[in-house]
Amino acid sequence: MVARYVGSVVLAVAFSAVSSHVLGQSLPPGSVAPQLRTAESAKAEARASFDRGITLFDNGAYDAALVEFQRARRLFPTRSASRNAELALRKLHRFDEALDIVEELLRESSLSDAERRGLVHELHELTAVVGTLAVGCAESDAAVLINGIERGKTPLPRPIRMSAGTHVVRVFKEGFLPYETRVEVAGQENATVSATLHAFMQGGRLAVSEDRGAAVHVVVDGIVTGTTPWEGTLPVGPHTVWLKGDGDVGSPPASIDVALNRLSKLSLVSEPVPCALRVEPTPVNARVALDGVDVGSGVFRGSLRCGGHVVELAAPGFLPTKKTLSLSKDIPFVFTDSLDRDPNSALFRAANPSRVTFDLRAGVPTGASLGGSLAGGSQGPVLGLAVQAGAGYQLGSGFGLSLDVGFLTVGQSINQRSASAFPIGLAPQPGEVRDELGLSGPMLGVSLALERGERVVWSGRLGAGAFLGSWSDVRSGAFTTAGGLAYAVPAVTERGEARFAYLNPEVRIGLRLSKHIVAQVGIQALALLNTSSATWSDSKPFLAGQCPSPDIRACAGLAGYGASKVVGTSLLALPLIGVRYEL
């Protein structure tokens, strides 16, 4: 929960401290009021940003909220603004930056014991999901960019703290071909990257100037290379250039081709570019283009003109995407998108080769009824056990075919069901019966599947086949004769063949434990479609209670329950757990 009331209190206390400090200094006549007005203005702007951040955070716009909280911290530092910035960073999975804020807060001496304990708890949580990345390079003074943000020049004084996850590392130095790689950093892991820069043999010169002669920073391929007017040597080919000045002054990205052994000239106009955009593609090495200009791979963060812009993402092995965005000055825009795998890509097929799969799953089927005509009474739930195994072949595209075998056993109790006994030659006798139904047997079928994901694996399946089992009904009852005599009927069992067609659509989610093993959980809907007559036939008649003689041949004392359909078409829910082995 973002801090609200506390933010107001801390802000007021901080302002009081600043005001007292300003008023207590020896200042020239007439200078106190302007400084006080400056502090009041900073407080008001900080509070406005703080309130906007609260609203944005509550609406789930965490990146935009972070910008407002960080602005409030710069204008008028408060503990609440720092706490809220840390919460926004956690929502954005930028755990290393959140850890920096927590450590900064812990250095404050005015914390209460409860606040300090809470911050220490968060410190331990964040430390578990933050690692370090050491970037080494034999060439000195090479710029190191991680996820599109420059983190210093080689040699770096110390490893860089990074949130757990995948990151893009780029090392650049004028006169050398840029080095780029993707690295995975786990929590509490010390990862390393050794960058090797190769001097390019063929290059050209690029001269960049600002149209009106202003001195602003020149950014080439995401790296600040100098100040206008700037000239340097670059590899032959396309490059992206933009200007960055103070505040929101800059220029939109522009593309230029550097020719071999020639000087290419580019003149850009610096102007207000007040709208902020952050692009976070998945995969992290996807190329990002803005309005047709390639601005590099991975996370892009920059300022643009307000209004409409086109963002394009592309990566080897993935389908490209294009989206139109509308930027406004007041709300920083965060664009996140995950590219879909291209099943026709050679890279995709190489990373996802066709394979033979073996599945083993078990679950507890449940439902409301086994679908017969035994209505009424107190019906218990259908419960049982199912074991399924499959052997299949999966294509690199994710489609697969499997042959499935399994065993299903389910049962249901029906108590106090109203029924009649039918003595031979006499009127029916009312009463109640109890049924213990059972259904068990093997299942044979095939299934089609579609799978997506690498570490976390999602799949959908549709199976069909035959259930070749048997049914059973253990039935007992209590009836009353026409003369008012109550009698009980001991349990009688009938059995028969049960032939069903089945359909079992299913969804699963799996976690890859190793190259060959995936643990899975899922839910299956098992529809049993009755294709045979599973009917109670009174094959074992019972003795009705009205016969006065022990010799049942001396009277019409035999009775039956009458024909009834025991099981029929039914629908069961089947939660599953299992494991899959891939060759």
Report pLDDT digits (tens) over 61-105.
888 888 889 889 988 888 899 999 999 999 888 899 999 999 999
Q: 3-state DSSP helix/strand/coil percent for the chain, to nearest 5?
A: 20, 50, 30
- Reference 165, options 184, 149, 150; nearest CA is 184
8 A C-beta contact, residue 46 and residue 70: no
Q: Are residues 183 and 88 in the same domain?
A: no
Residues 493-552 pLDDT 10s: 999 999 999 999 999 999 999 888 999 999 999 999 987 778 898 888 888 875 555 554
Helix (H), strand (E) at residue 300: strand 300-304
Measure Cα distances from 449 to 111, 266, 392, 460 in Å.
57, 54, 10, 6
Is the pLDDT at 449 greater than 60, yes or no?
Answer: yes
- Is 344 domain-assigned? no
Closest CA to 192 of 181, 200, 207: 181
> Mean pLDDT for the chain?
86
Two tokens at 159?
A: 């490893």
Residue 88: CA count within 13 A, CB half-sphere: 26
pLDDT, tens digit, 9 for 90 and up, residues 495-508: 999 999 999 999 99
Percent of the chain with pLDDT strictly greater than 90: 45
Predicted pLDDT of residue 284? 83
The confidence band for 38, taking pLDDT boundaries of 50, 70 and 90, is confident
What tokens were used for 562?
A: 């009458």
For residue 17, pLDDT over 70 is answered with no
Domain end position, chosen among 183, 199, 215: 199
The CA dihedral of 93, 456, 285, 330, to the nearest 10 degrees, is -40
Spatial distance between the Cα atoms of 443 and 424, rounded to a whole number of angstroms = 41
* Whole-number pLDDT of residue 210: 92
Predicted confidence at residue 350, as pLDDT, reads 62
pLDDT in tens, 169-181: 989 888 888 898 8
CATH classification of the domain holding 356: 2.40.160.20
Whether 18 shows a pLDDT value over 60: the answer reads no
The reported pLDDT for the residue numbered 221 is 85
* CATH of residue 52: 1.25.40.10
For the stretch 48-63, pLDDT in tens is 989 998 998 998 888 8
Same domain, 510 and 386: yes
Q: Is residue 547 part of a domain?
A: yes
Residue 239 shares a structural domain with residue 279: yes
- Are 273 and 237 in the same domain? yes
Question: What's 147's domain CATH number?
Answer: 2.60.40.1120
| 372 C-beta neighbours (distance < 10 Å), count | 23
Query: How far, in Å, CA of 55 to CA of 338, rounded?
Result: 27
pLDDT at 10 over 70: no
SS3 370: coil
Q: Would residue 330 count as lying in a domain?
A: yes
Q: From the CA atom positions of the chain, what is the Rg in Å?
A: 37
Tell whether 502 and 419 lie within a shared domain.
Answer: yes
User: What are the pLDDT digits (tens) for 364-405?
Assistant: 999 999 988 887 888 999 999 999 999 999 887 788 999 999
The answer to whether residues 439 and 498 belong to one domain is yes
Rounded Cα–Cα distance for residues 253 and 146 (Å): 20
Within-domain flag for 120? yes
Predicted confidence band of residue 16 (pLDDT cuts 50, 70, 90): very low
Angle between helix 79-91 and 62-75 (nearest 10): 160
Same domain, 309 and 366: no
Q: What angle do CA 277, 97, 169 make, to 5 degrees?
A: 70
Query: What is the domain extent for residue 105?
Result: 5-128
Would the pLDDT of 14 be above 50? Answer: no
Question: In the numeric block, which tokens belong to residue 97?
Answer: 């930056």
The answer on 171 and 312 residing in a single domain is: no
The answer, yes or no, to whether residue 438 has pLDDT greater than 90, is yes
Answer whether residue 346 is part of any domain: no
What size, in residues, is the chain? 583
pLDDT mean over 115-138: 92
Query: What CA–CA distance (Å, rounded) separates 12 from 15?
Result: 5
What pLDDT, on the 0 to 100 scale, is given for residue 34?
55
End residue of a domain, out of 101, 128, 155: 128
- Cα distances from 212 to residues 247, 348, 396, in angstroms, run 18, 49, 56
Most distant CA atoms of the chain, gap in Å? 131
Of 99, 128, 157, the residue at which a domain comes to its end is 128
Backbone angles phi and psi of 14, in degrees to 5: -60, -40
Identify the band that residue 1 occupies on the pLDDT scale cut at 50, 70 and 90.
low
Tell me the pLDDT tens digit for each residue of 325-350: 999 886 778 888 888 878 777 666 66
| Residue 212 resides in a domain | yes
**In this structure, is residue 345 part of a structural domain?**
no
CA atoms within 13 A on the CB side of 47: 16
Q: Are residues 139 and 103 in the same domain?
A: no
In the predicted model, is pLDDT for residue 472 greater than 50? yes
Contacts of 339 (CB under 8 A, 6+ apart): 281, 282, 283, 286, 313, 314, 315, 318, 319, 320, 321
- Does one domain contain both 121 and 147? no
Distance from the first to the final alpha carbon of the chain: 47
Total domains in the chain come to 4
Q: Kindly state whether residues 272 and 322 are assigned to the same domain.
A: yes
Angle at 410 between CA 404 and CA 413, to 5 degrees: 165
pLDDT at residue 549, as a whole number: 56
- Are 320 and 237 in the same domain? yes
**Six-digit token pair at 303?**
């300022």
Q: Which residue has the higher pLDDT, 264 or 299?
A: 264
